[in-house]
Amino acid sequence: MTANQFTQQALSEWMKAEGPDSDIVISSRIRIARNLQSYPFPMLSTNLQSREVLDKLSGVLESEDLRTISNFSLLSLDTLDELEKRVLVEKRLISPALANESRNGAVILSDNESISIMVNEEDHLRIQCLYPGFQIEEAWDLASQIDDIFEVHLDYAFDEQRGFLTSCPTNVGTGIRASVMIHLPALAITQQINRILSAITQVGLAVRGLYGEGSEALGNLFQISNQITLGQSEQEIIDNLYGVVRQIIEHERAAREKLRAETKAKLVDRVSRSFGILSFAAIMDSKEAAQRLSDVRLGIDLGIIKNVPIQVMNELLVMTQPGFLQQVAGEKLTAEERDIRRAQLIRDKFKDQSTQAM
């Protein structure tokens, strides 16, 4: 597949399916960091060395074992324009670091975009697997299978005491980052969110925005991931994340029920107002759009809004981002032009949709 095929559609194929607890957990992700023995980390590599690493990793694409998992396409970052790179970041298929700073960087993508393998980012190899809903175990099983295939063909940098060696010391050991993207509007509305997030950080987990480290949490969407990679097994890391997220899900469900029972009229009004504004607004900045889309998503999950598929909301997560808006326009846009196009896009998506209060 070409870069154009990966950047023209906002909704990846894997996001069209619903997973367990998908009303709260948008997606589950496993990322594994690996480096090759006898090569410097990417930040210290020469152009020739990083090219050799890319050649070695791309050679694994010919593996029969890898072909049984999916068809893959390799995209070299130097063949992509800035908007294409930005769209791939907005779809969570590559990191901002790979888009902006890599030497001989590339990404290997499965046809349904659930598997993204970054080459020459912070590490030589970063395997990422994405699943809809709360399926962190399933994501780990697939990522581990792909990791095993690469390990057959490559000599990983590994130390008997420290484990897998990585560019950043915080990834040394297992090299695994397990994370979920979770929607917590009821906890935010009931003003419990700060207490919950504070408790999360005290049990070895990190809370970030939609695009990971350094990104802002907008629209009540949070990325929760492990911080510890050394001294715990992969399964212990997965189990710890699973247990904490399961508790967060229960707290969010309880908060939603409290809103429904105690402030039903206010909740319906909030959701309906956001839907109405999104349906008719002529200009909409990204921050307001994220918050009002969060209200509408909550309304869909609670049955306040009818006939709006949740896939539309997943699609709008990407479609309303600056890169995708400009990709569709075919040109760079000013902030005001993006806000106008964002509002128009949302209006078009919500057109002819009807709501029905409980």
**Residues of 338-350 as b/e, b for ≥16 C-beta within 10 angstroms?**
bbbbbbebbeebb
How far is CA 88 from its chain centroid? Answer: 11
28 is in an annotated binding site: yes
86 is in an annotated binding site: no
Which phi and psi angles does 157 have, rounded to 5°?
Answer: -75, 115
Token code pair at residue 350: 């919500």
30 is in an annotated binding site: yes
211 is in an annotated binding site: yes
Distance CA 191, CA 207 (A): 17
Q: Which residues are paired to 32 by β-bridges?
A: 127, 176
126 is in an annotated binding site: yes
Token code pair at residue 208: 């970030």
- Look up residue 162 and give its DSSP letter: T
27 is in an annotated binding site: yes
- 3-state DSSP assignment of residue 352: coil
Neighbours of 79 (CB within 10 A): 10
210 is in an annotated binding site: yes
213 is in an annotated binding site: yes
Distance CA 7, CA 21 (A): 28
177 is in an annotated binding site: yes
181 is in an annotated binding site: yes
| Phi/psi-derived region of residue 176, left when phi > 0, alpha when psi is between -120 and 50, beta in every other case | beta
Residue list, annotated binding site: 27-31, 126, 177-181, 208-213
Residue list, annotated binding site for ATP: 27-31, 126, 177-181, 208-213
